[in-house]
Amino acid sequence: MTTCVNLGSDKEQGRLFGLLEGLRGILTTAMGLGIVAIFNHAATETLGLRNVIFAYAIINIILGAVTFILIPYEKKAVDAGGEKSSILKNFKIALKKPEIWMVTIAIFCTMTCFICLGYLTPYLTGVMGATTVFAATIGTIRTWGLQIVGGTSGGVIADKIHSSSLTMAIAFCIITVGFGVMAVLPSTASFLMTATVLMFAFGFAIYINRGIYFATFTEAGVPSSINAIAAEFASAIRFLPDAFMYTVIGAVLDKYSGAAGYRIVFIIGAVSGLVGLFMAILIFRNSRKR
């Protein structure tokens, strides 16, 4: 059964979604450290892997039970056929709404940029000559630290300027410029710190967008009656880059060795950021018209 959840006023949604991303970063960090500890305490690697799988299974069972108990849902007196018909009808309506496609494409671009960001660490070590310890340190900060700070900050900024779409547009500008500069930056050790600073800058911007992109549905003008269907559709498209981008980038890096392959990855990130910027501007214009 599809339901809509009231997340508060438009001015509050940016902070709520940003806080969600920040808390997700904290929980991911805690869970990651716990899983590493479980693996390290096992007698063998095989036993450690088995324990990790059991741990993830138990965590999901517990979360499923907690969700079932704490998350309420509204029971409606409607037959199964009528409910399915209503869901299908709303889904068809959602597909025809250009504002839903704006938000969905912006989310898709954000996740594509996020995947490209993950290749910065091997680029710094394999091409620019960074040490393994240096790469592991900045990789940890990028993966966990930026998610906690960036996601939460995005919500606060969006509420301060009263616009999640404008916040996303500014973040996409930083992302596009950052990837663009990386594509032309000399891949020598003397530019290692410059590349690191750039990575933190547009990595921070990517997590800002991850924290607030669902808050743009209201600004785009998506009717509240189909918010749930719109979010489900956008979520499905959101994970599409995971299905093919790693294969595409892997093929690029296999064909073009060294810095040449990574420059193509950075160009993909810059183009995705530019498309996302265009979508964010369209959403912002919609919000102004409304």
CA–CA separation, 96 and 128 (whole Å): 47
pLDDT in the model for residue 11: 52
| Residue 107 to residue 99: CA distance in whole angstroms | 13
**Mean pLDDT by 10-residue block, N- to C-terminus, for the chain (290 residues)?**
42 58 67 76 82 88 89 58 63 84 94 94 89 77 76 81 90 96 92 91 91 85 81 86 93 92 96 96 87
User: What integer pLDDT is reported at residue 133 of this predicted model?
Assistant: 76
C-alpha dihedral (185, 189, 193, 195), degrees to nearest 10:
30
- Give me the pLDDT at residue 265, please: 96
pLDDT of the residue at 35: 77
Token couple for 28: 């991911």
Q: What is the pLDDT of residue 178?
A: 95
First to last CA, the chain: 30
Q: Count H helices and E strands in the chain, helices first.
A: 13, 0
Which two three-digit tokens encode residue 155? 């919500």
Other C-beta atoms lying within 10 Å of the C-beta of residue 256 = 14
pLDDT of res. 84: 54
DSSP codes, 17-85: HHHHHHHHHHHHHHHHHHHHHHHHTSSSHHHHHHHHHHHHHHHHHHHHHHHHHHS--------HHHHHH
Domains of the chain: 10-41+76-289 (1.20.1250.20)
